[in-house]
Amino acid sequence: MALVVFAAIAIVGQILNVFLCLALDKMFSPAVGALAFVMLYMVVFAGAWLLTLGIMDRDWRHAPARLSHS
């Protein structure tokens, strides 16, 4: 389940990354857009992983409570 959550967050993040960097391309220069893309590419994957861990940790903390009530 964690891999599915990570993939979904990473895909959405990279789509936003592409559109942001295309806008930077038009506003400044292709070099600025390319540099921003490479930097944000790494940041999106790291952020997606941390967000996935937070989401999965919250699910695991509440799992015993859900199991005990059924």
Confidence check: pLDDT of 68 > 90: no
Domain-wise residue ranges, the chain: 18-58
- What confidence score (pLDDT) does residue 43 get? 97
Give 24's pLDDT tier (boundaries 50, 70, 90): very high
The whole-number average pLDDT for the span 7-33 is 97
SS (H, E, C) the chain: CHHHHHHHHHHHHHHHHHHHHHHHHHHCCHHHHHHHHHHHHHHHHHHHHHHHHHHHHHHHHHHHHHHHHC
pLDDT digits (tens, 9 = 90+) for 34-65: 999 999 999 999 999 999 999 888 766 665 55
Is-above-0.85 flag for pTM?
no
Confidence check: pLDDT of 67 > 80: no
